[in-house]
Chains A and B, each alone.
Chain A
Amino acid sequence: MGLARWTICVALAFAAVGFSAQMAAAQDVEKALEHAGEEVHEAATTDPSHGGGSTDPLEVAPDLAIFTFIVFVILLVVLRKFAWGPIMEALERREQNVAEHIAQAERNHEQARQLLVEYEQRLAGAANEVRELLEEARRDAEGTKQSILAEARQGAEAEKARALRDIEAATDAALETIAHRSTDLAVELAGKIVGAKLTKDEHARLIQDAVAKFPASSASSN
């Protein structure tokens, strides 16, 4: 494909150049070649209108040199004022900006790295703290449990002691009541048993004793 296009291009150029050269110049050049020998010599030596003059490439035209010098100096002055100065300044400024941005980015990066380390440390610290808190809570709970247990145990002991005291008191009271009753019964029984054998006086005295005791015993039983 590339080759075909290339060939077409070359052929077209070939044809175009060929056409124009053939049409316009062939005759001209033929004539030129006929006289080539003498003309070359003539052109270079005698006739300045032929061949363009000197072939010396080291010719210096002072006009051109002076003109070049002046143009260059003007160009230098103008460009220095309106172009090179502002351009160099702007480029320096941009370079500084870029350098600053890079430095800033490096600083930010370093800062971020430090923050990361810090937070990692903090995170590790927090885990430890949590563990400690849990430990402490567990310890507290254990202590609370122990104290509650102790208190409960104490409470129970006190209750028990109080119950025992109550029981004892009740027992005492019951025993007293039983003693009173049993005395009365014994007296009654004894009276019943011995009543028959008592004399009248003794009987009267016993009744009086019993009457005298009655209010006391009834009061104690109530």
Chain B
Amino acid sequence: MADPHETPADAHDDAHAADAHGHADAHAAHGDAHHAHDPLDAAHLIGHVKDATYFEFPRFMGGKVEIPQIYEGPTLATISVGFKPIDDRIMPIQGRITKFMVLEAIVALLLILVFSWLALRLRRSDRPKGALTNLLESMIVFIRDDVARPAIGHHDADKFMPLLLTIFFFVLGCNLFGMLPWMGSPTGALATTGALAFITLCTVCISGMAKLGPVGFWVGQVPHMDLPLALAILLKPMIFVIELMGMGIKHFILAMRLLANMMAGHLVQAVIMAFIAASAASAAWYAVTPASLLGAVALSLLELFVAFLQAYIFTFLSALFIGMAVHPH
């Protein structure tokens, strides 16, 4: 997937925005000579999946639509942790409004509208009526009975239900937006999944400290062992550090799992569609196009399933981590 020749140095430059495209098939339809490059180029393909400061539509629908920016000045700040592999991957803070931000805001608004409507409906009548009501209710009850309560325990689960429901539906909404043409999955960016995992981590620490006391929670990270005093003094701090790292890694993997699933799906989709453009000049096009179309349809179905599955897994693991923090034994 990674191109050995690329350097991320200029990756954040606004200028790259000038050339990225929507979907590979839409790209093939562009007649602009400026776009002439290999459709299977890794940087180009990833460019379709990544965040950007514009939306891309087919040409007859307006082509590339730049998102109006509030701030267009120079870079605001750069974050550095002093470790090059990480610093290389942290982009400078530029204060631009990006596609994923817009999509997240749309998802949030949709969720507020849909669930306020559901709440209103439930307040008016106690009877479940209508397909949408039943669909949403069954999801909510599923999260409560099959995710929160088994993972956190019946007594404490209800306290975390708002968080888990918000996580589930927000992630699901972000995942599903990737299924809409010319949109994208905000969960296909590590910044999004990382922020969500960070929220889980904060919840784990805060709820653990609230339940077991600030000291009790952190001490409780070291499993109980019957060690001679000397050995305990030596080992326990090491185990504590390992456990802390474990906690960090657990939540990092939480973010990575969602990112990888969403990004990989879209990337494979882009590659399959790019085959059409890549073979456009040869006779192979006649064989490649139907195969690619069928493959894209099948993959879309798979992605639809993965969108739900990953939202569920993210929520379930968050619940599990919270449960472990609240009930350490």
Contacts and interface: CB of A to CB of B under 8 A. Distances in A.
A154 to B, nearest CB: 85
Interface string B158-201: 10011101100010000000000000001001111011101100
Contacts of B289: 14, 17-18, 21
Contacts of B118: 83, 87
Interface in A23-69: 24-33, 35-36, 39-41, 43-45, 48-69
Contacts of B11: 48, 53-54, 56, 59
A193 interface: no
A56 B277 CA distance: 23
B94 A87 contact: no
Contacts of A36: 37-38
Contact of A75 (B120, B170, B285): B170
B16 A49 contact: yes
B28 interface: yes
Interface stretch (B41-49, B210-218, B316-324): B41-49
B33 A31 contact: yes
Contact of A62 (B3, B48, B128, B191): B191
Interface stretch (A90-98, A108-116, A155-163, A205-213): A90-98
Q: How large, as a class, is the contact surface on chain B?
A: 35 or more
B72 interface: no
B38 A39 contact: yes
B165 A79 contact: yes
Contacts of B186: 64, 68
Interface string B138-166: 00110010000000000000100111011
B37 A40 contact: yes
A220 interface: no
* Secondary structure type dominating chain A contacts: helix
A214 interface: no
A20 interface: yes
A43 to B, nearest CB: 6
Contacts of A55: 1-3, 6, 42-43, 46
Given A62-B191, A84-B115, A90 B163 contact: no
Interface residues of A, number: 69
A50 B190 contact: no
B30 interface: yes
A63 B96 contact: yes
B259 A25 contact: no
B226 interface: no
A17 B47 contact: no
Contacts of B134: none
A83 B170 CA distance: 14
Interface string B260-273: 10010000000000
B329 interface: no
Nearest to A82: B116
A90 B123 contact: yes
Interface stretch (B18-26, B238-246, B307-315): B18-26
Contact of A41 (B5, B89, B101, B137): B5
B62 to A, nearest CB: 17
Contacts of A54: 6, 8, 11-12, 43, 46
Contacts of B108: 71-72, 74-75
A159 B282 CA distance: 146
20 contacts: A17-B293, A24-B30, A26-B280, A40-B5, A45-B5, A52-B16, A52-B48, A54-B6, A55-B3, A56-B88, A60-B90, A65-B198, A71-B101, A76-B162, A78-B112, A82-B112, A82-B115, A82-B119, A84-B162, A88-B140
Given A63-B93, A94-B126, 13 more contacts: A20-B29, A29-B39, A29-B277, A31-B33, A32-B37, A51-B43, A53-B8, A53-B13, A60-B190, A86-B119, A88-B140, A91-B140, A93-B126
User: What are the 9 closest A-B residue pairs judged by CB atoms, nearest first?
Assistant: A52-B47, A54-B11, A51-B43, A83-B115, A53-B11, A90-B122, A64-B191, A44-B6, A68-B195
Interface of B: 1-3, 5-8, 10-13, 15-16, 18-20, 25, 28-33, 35-39, 41-44, 46-48, 50-51, 79, 88-91, 93-96, 98, 100-101, 104-105, 108, 111-112, 115-116, 118-120, 122-123, 126, 128, 137, 140-141, 144, 158, 161-163, 165-166, 170, 186, 189-192, 194-196, 198-199, 259-260, 263, 276-278, 280-281, 285-286, 289-290, 293-294
